[in-house]
Amino acid sequence: MNNDPLALAAALASFDAVWSPRIVTRVNDYDVRVAKVEGDHVWHAHDDTDEFFLVLDGELRISLREPAGERTVVLPRGSVFTVPRGTEHRPSAPAGAAILMFEPTGTLSVGDRHEELPDHVDATTGHALSGR
C-alpha cells in the first residue's frame, strides 16, 4: 500500500465497474474499500464480521432480514450504517451511488452466504486500486 494521501474522487474516477470494490488503503487488518454501485446487489450475510457503509455520493438502500422482519434503511449522501454480523442484507442504488466500506482484509463482497450471482456482481475480496 502506498502511504501518500489519496483523493477519494480520483480513486472513484479511476474505474467504471459497479459492485467491484477497490482497496484504497488498509487500517490494521481492515481494508478501506470504495465502490460504484447501481441497481441491486445480492442478498448475502457476513457470518463473522459487521459491515460498515459510508455513502460518498448518491443514495444507498440496504434491505435487511432481521428477527422482527424485513426492513430497508435509506442512506443519503454523507450517511453511515453498520450491518451487524450474520444479518442477511442486500444493498441497492436505483440511481447509482459511490460508497466507502470497512471490511476485514479478505472479506468477500458477497459475504459467506449468498444467492446465485448475476454477471454484473463481482464476488471479490477487493481489487487493488490502479497506481497505488
Residue whose cell numbers read 443514495: 59
Nearest residue to 117 (alpha-carbon basis) of 35, 20, 14 = 20
In b/e form, how buried is each residue of 25-46, taking b as 16+ CB within 10 angstroms?
A: beeeebbbbbbbbeebbbbbbb
23's grid cell = 482497496
Q: What mean pLDDT is reported for the chain?
A: 89
The yes-or-no verdict on residue 120 having pLDDT over 80 is: no
| pLDDT tens readout for residues 53-68 | 999 999 999 999 999 9
| pLDDT tens readout for residues 58-107 | 999 999 999 999 999 999 999 999 999 999 999 999 999 999 999 999 88
pTM above 0.95, yes or no: no
CA 83 distance to own-chain centroid:
11
Please answer whether residues 21 and 30 qualify as being in contact, where contact means their C-beta atoms are separated by less than 8 angstroms.
no
How large is the average pLDDT for residues 25-36? 94
**Domain 19-128, what fold?**
Jelly Rolls (2.60.120)
Domain locations along the chain: 19-128
